[in-house]
Every structure is written in structure tokens, then in C-alpha cells.
Chain A
């Protein structure tokens, strides 16, 4: 007796729970692996899933088993040259005469990395775990400018265009049933009595007439119940709730003066991309504004921002002024969450640095959620760094870090956006 069943339509993700449990359990190791993976590859394809390696010894399940040593006799197939009693040198690595490599992993050799694939979502989750956007909470509370009307059940009064037909008719039906019930009961009884009388061999005409009259009266009463009554009416109820803004704009500010070589720009780019990916997880819509500057600042598109080269001196204040103007013109801080990241090698025209500090403190920082400054330089700090340090001391939502090389990008990013202790 054989039964053939098609199970293909049944769920295929039976292992989903187990898979999640595994990821949960080895969170620490996976996070480390994710961080390694990020520092090693180009950040532009970071948004893909990732192959993750974690050391097998961390996740192996122990059992009582034999280790190496002692005496063992193992049978192998395919003898060609050996005779009994032959001595052969011990092969290196293998414990038992080149014994099956099937045994090798059991003996803890050979396989020392456990590799698996993370989906894109999982990867990003691990990637940005423990990070948060600074001041997100504060802004949610203050930015309740755009109220949104949402449904909130039904009410008994309202304007006619809000009448909910189904609800209204449903309560009308209920009312009609309730009000008509006593009449219908009497009607039923009268009809039964009438039937009985008619079947009687000797019907009494008066009684029949009386009953017929009553039936007629009851019918009229039932029909007199109004089909729709004002008390039946129900209206859709809507209330307005404040809606935190879910749009953000990210300003990328970069120094493209002669001192910023391609490597430094590449580092800056990676940093900006990280920031962008991070913001996309928090906001529905994100605008990016690319501003680059040498002695004068310019708004450019992405390609120009990263690839075109210009030389010249450096006046950082120019880009800050431009940002201030663009914010005033296009991004009302009441409606937009504004983030800015500035990358520079810190080489500024000396007299300009104090001006930058003033611009930041007075015009820019009051309007933005967060301003991060990264200085990409292996050398000593210059005047801009020291001026910015004063800004950082004065404002909690201004942060600065230095990046030496590509390996620093991710740690610095984490440092800038790590979860702040709630105080």
C-alpha cells in the first residue's frame, strides 16, 4: 500500500525558528564577523547579504569521543603496493594512516571555520546593532507639526458625509428586530389560533373575524416601525494625532581642495555611505545634499561630489554658509530631520576657522539633529580641529572623530552613533 502525497505546497521555512535561534545565540561572534567583513570590503556593496565565518570551536557541540592516540587498526580499500608487515611513515597531520578525511573534521582538524550566509536584512541588523540616531526622541516630541487624521471608531453624531452606512443599517436592523418582537409573537399566536379554528369541524365565524382583525392590526403595527431612525445613525470618527516627521535630509560636506587626495575622498565616501544606510533604516524618505568646497562651496550631484577634482585653497566656512542657506530655503527644521556629516583633512585657511565655529554655533547647530565631523588625516590636527573642539564642548549633538585609514571608518562610525546612555 503506497500513498503519494504532494507536500510541496506546505511551508518550506520549517527551519526559520531554529535559524533565528542560532543567530541569536551567536550574536557576539556574528557581530565581530560582520565588523571584519565591513572593514575588508568596499562599502558600496555592503547592502548585500554577506557570507559570515565564525570559528567552529565557538559553536561546536561537544560529545564524548576519542581523541588522538592509542592503538587503532583501520581498514582501507584500494591496496596496490602494500604487503603485510610493511612499515610506512606516518603521514603528517592525519592521525591514522591517511585515514578518511571524513574523520578529519570529527577530530577537529580541517574545518575550523563555520561559514553561512546572512540575508541583507540580517546583515544590516547586525551591522547597525547598538547604534542609534542621536536626538531622535527629542525631535519626535518637538516636531509634532504635521498632524495626521486617523480613524478612531464610531460616534453617534457627526456630519452627514461621515455616515457609516453599514454600521447605521446594522443598528437599525437590531432596533427593528427588538421593537417588533412582541408584536410578531402575538401575531404568530393569533395565526396559530386562527388555523386551529378553521380546522375545527364547527368554526365560529365571529371568533375568526376577531382574530383576522387582530392579525391585521398587528401587521400594521409591525409595519409602522420606522426603517431608519435618527438613533440608528453612526458616523465614522476621526481624530487628529500628532505625527513625528519621518523624513530626513542628510548633508554631505566635503573638502575637495588639493590636499584631499583620492584615498582620503574614498574614506570620506565610505563614511557617507554608512551614514546613508543607517539613516534609511530610520526614515521613510531621505534627501541627500552634496556640498563640496575648496575656497568656494557648490552643491553638486553625487558623481561630481566623489570624482571630480579641483584644486585650490580651503575656506571651510564657505560650505557652512551654503548649508545654512539651503536649509533656510528648502528644509524647514520643523518638518525635516537634518543630519550633516562633514569630512575634511582639517587643513583650513587659518583665519577662517573661528568663523566656522561661529557659523556652527549660531546658525547650523540649532537646526540640525546631529552634526558629525570626521577629520581624515594621519597628521597633526590643525586649527579647525581646535575650534571644533570648542563647539563639541558647547553642544551635545556635535561630534567629531579622526580617521587615520580605511580600517577606522567603521569603528569611528560606531563611536559617533553608539547608543547614548539615557540620563
Chain B
């Protein structure tokens, strides 16, 4: 699509965005929608090294913008693109801009990055001049062709854009260094004229890719632009070139201009205003000298910025009177952009029911919180592992004795050698070459009624018996009658005379630290009766953990309902699960250190007892 040299952007311009600047792209498309453009102004994006696509809103609808790994591929697929907006960082902007300058298809390149070294920026400018391309920036927000095309984040929010009537063209061309002030200028122009036609911010660097004058000359050549407005700056020679251009009649359209920085002479020596270029080293470069020279050359220069709006208004009204411009009549309203869900939420305009509820931890705040305790408090006050478990399982900070009990249980359950089903499965899985998660998961999956699960089972049975005030002998009789094995009772080899050290330790700890051990005492009475029948029918470690866990909850003063909730919910198995995971991880690491080969169970250890062969 060929456009005259003076015209960088129109309603059909499409751009390539270098960098995944998704917000900027959405803002460009929202602008397009307000301008009732037929096609989106972003043709493609570049995510270095990656092919893909990016989803954006086009009004209410969602569309895909193709993503390419490099400039050449993107342009090859989109022959209509003639603008590139380069969002690469200051470190890589030079190289990517140089690459873009080599592409004959591109006419305009906008460089957003701030902090590109001056020598490199100057080099880019020279190459652009040589290749007859327009380089806007570096260190710029870009520019805007009202009602046609918006560069990246120019103009601010869509509300500001509509307030400044940028969704439809007027007849004023504006150029300045500052991006922030160009926004203000568009507002001033909207308030005092028929609106902006095109506005460019060339960026605040010492060596901008294109100059104030070059853009003014483009505006001069564009018949749709009737009036020029410019904001200059202290420092540099650029404004003097404008003086020359006006004197030599290269600029003939009315130009309203003000050079900022008149206060610099009242500042201490060496103060640097916001822009790198804004520093006057010689009298010629002061704002006063430039304003005076511009005025003398015939430019409309106000007395101060305070009269800038009036100067623009007067000049515009003169053009109306002369019939050069026709004021706009009834303004057409731009289509409304649907509000983003996130902004609607932020403004409290919408609500929706939640699908999830969480009552234990919160990552949505500035700091992670466990049941009302900030992570900085948990670490700062050195909460023990037991206390941390208390927060996440029971939503309260447990007293020391209870937290310590949980830790003892975890330590006791941490491992029980390689032969038990959990560890065995972990080892076999590890040796099959699976990863840590799979190996440990396969071990965990064996935990249940027969392996490890007796903790919860024992707690349930003993508690139920005690609650029903059954005497130990009545309890044993009832279970026998129902033919149910009492969980937590019985060991393969241990007996009263040869006790399990783990059970001894637990009982000792409980005796010293628990306020009371009602259920343990009850279980021990049961044990007296069962061991009388067979000396290995002792209260085993699972049983002991189970009943003491219930005693712990009694000791914490929890209600029956709350205790029942924990016991019925199988929560006590969690203690075994948590503890044993430590061992399973250990077994996985052990096997993987050994580089143990695939395990195959020997045939001679299997009884093959199949039905007879069918002939």
C-alpha cells in the first residue's frame, strides 16, 4: 500500500510490535475500535525465537495476533506492514533497530527504549537517513494519527483519548520531545481547535532519530494539516533550524511554538531537567534566546506557557475566519469499549460467586499467610514444624507440648526399613527409572487399612468404645462377637516383656507432658486383657499414636464435634503419611544414588497356579 512521504500512518496502517507488550497492543486495538477501523493496527508481534499467537480483544470479540521469532519472518508473512514499534530493551534495541532498518518494507520505526547510548542512537539516525526511513525515538512514547493509528501507549487511557478527541482527525499537527507533555498538548489542542491530525513525540535524547523540524516539514507537506503546534526545549540547536525553516519559507503554515526551560537560569549550575537533551551550555541554547528568535521569524510565541492555549486558540480562530479550516459540527460519539473484567472488579462494578473457598492459607496478599499468621511471623518467631502443621491442619498455633507430640510422631513414623509395602513400592518404582514424585506416590498409595492406616482405625474404635462407656472386657467381647480385629492391638514379635521402644517413648512423653491420657489409659486396660490371652497382643505403635492423638485433642480442649471431625475425616492418617514420606524420599534417593537397575521378581519366588491348559 503506497502512502505519500509525508504520511506515516493512516486508517489502514498495520504495525509489527517487537516484544510481547500485550497491554500496549490491546490499547492500540481499543483505539482502532473507537476509530471504527476496518482492520486491527497490529499485524504481528515478535517474541524472539518463538512462533505462536497472542489473543486480544477486538471490541467484544477475541482475535489472534500471530507471533513470529524474527523480523524477517514476520514481514514475509505480512507484506502490508510498514511500521515497526520496537519495545526491545536499551541493551538490544540498537541491534534490533539496525535489523529493521535493513528491511525495505518498513517505512517507519519507533524505538521506545530509554537509555540507548548516544553514539548508538546517532548511528541509528544516520542509517535511517541513508535508507530514507523515519525513525521516531529512542526514549519516546511514539505518536498518534487521530482517528487512524496510535503508536503503543501514546495518549494514555482510552478515556483520555476520547476526551482529547483523538478518535477522529482534526487539522493540527503537533510535535514535541516529551511524551508526557504531548498528552497535555493533545488536550490543549482539543480544547482550543478542531483537534489533532497527527502528533509525534520524538523523545528526550540528545540525538533523536528524527527531529522536530523534520516532522514539522512533513506536516507542512500534508494538505490535511492546516496549523502546526510545537513544544521545544532548552538545550540543543534544533529550534534554531526551525527558525531558519520559517525564515526561508520552508514552513509557511501558521506555527504556534513555545520553548520550555526559561527557569533554568534561576537554577543552580549543573541541574539537569528530566530530558538528556535539556541542558543549555551556551546562550544560543537557552529557552529565552530560542523563543525570541522564533518570534522574530514570525512564529506565534506566547509570553509564557500560561498563554500557550490562548495563542493556539487565536491562531485557529484566524484560520476559521480566513476559511482555511471549517469547524466541526455535531460530534459523532465513538463506540464504547467494553470494560475489562479486571477494571470492573477494581472499580467495584461487578461481582460473581466464587467456586472455591479456602480457610487455611492466603497467597493473595502482599505476604503469605498461614491461618492468620504471616510467614514473616512464622519464621521470625521460629515456629516449630509442629506449630506450622497446627496452623495448616487445625488453624491454630498449638501449645508446645502438642506441637512437640506431633513432631515425635513424625520422627517415629519417618521410616520402617525397606521391606514394608510403602518403602518397597517406592524402591521398585525408583528402580523402574521413574522420577521422585512417581516413586513416592506409588509408596504412599499403599497406605490404608492394612498398612499405616491403623492409626485412624485405632483412634476410632477405642474412642467409640470409651464414648459408649464400654468396659474393656465388654469392648473386647463385642469386637469378638462381630469378628472384628481391634485395630492398634497386636505385633508380630513384640510383647509386654519385650516392648516396642517407640511405644515406650510415646507413653513416657505423654505421661510427662499431656494434661491427661484418658483414651491411652483405656487402651492400656484393654491391652492388659488381650495380652493375658496372647503376649504379643500389645497396644502397638499405630494404636498408641491413634489414642494419644485423641488425648491430645482432649487436652487442647476441643469440642467433641471437632475431635470427631478430625478422627472421622481420617486426619490422623495424615501424621503417618507426612512422617513416612520422609522415609520414602530417602529410599528413592538411596536407589537413585546406587543407580539401581530394574527390579524383576524371581520366578522361583512365585507360585504359578493356573487352570490346566486348554487344548
- Do A and B interact with each other, yes or no? no
The residues of B with any CB-CB pair to A shorter than 8 Å are none
The residues of A with any CB-CB pair to B shorter than 8 Å are none
